Amino acid sequence: MKSSIFVVIMQAFLFLVSFPVQSMGQETADAKVLFERKCIACHSAARATSLKKTNEEWTKTVMRMKNRTQSIKADEARVIIDYLTKTYGE
């Protein structure tokens, strides 16, 4: 009886511990899709992905594009900046 309770507790613990990791993976995937949808509309992905920039530099770049095209909302810009910094940051 004790071992089956232990197994159930461990399974619940492992499920709860893995949940945030799965969520983070989905957030990154969503950010990549947003980046591709918004940024590749005007230029190739290689233009951005070949660069390594700091968060400040990515912020300037994305905000310049946001202000130029008006197709990127403020909350979308933050997601794109975070994605680019995490994936292509210095």
- Please give the share of the chain, as a percent, with pLDDT higher than 90: 50
Q: Find the CATH number of the domain harbouring 51.
A: 1.10.760
Query: What is the token pair recorded at 84?
Result: 């680019």
pLDDT value at residue 86: 94
Summarize the confidence of residues 53-68 as an average pLDDT. 95
Residue 52 lies in a domain: yes
Residue 35 lies in a domain: yes
Q: Specify the number of domains making up the chain.
A: 1
Query: What is the token pair recorded at 39?
Result: 């940024």
Structural domain span for residue 55? 26-88
Residue 75 lies in a domain: yes
CA distances from 90 to 3, 58, 66, 75, 83 (A): 49, 10, 22, 23, 13
pLDDT value at residue 8: 59
Q: What angle do CA 65, 24, 85 make, to 5 degrees?
A: 35
Is the model's pLDDT at 89 over the cut of 70? Answer: yes
pLDDT value at residue 22: 44
Is the model's pLDDT at 61 over the cut of 80? Answer: yes
Residue 46 lies in a domain: yes
Residue 41 lies in a domain: yes
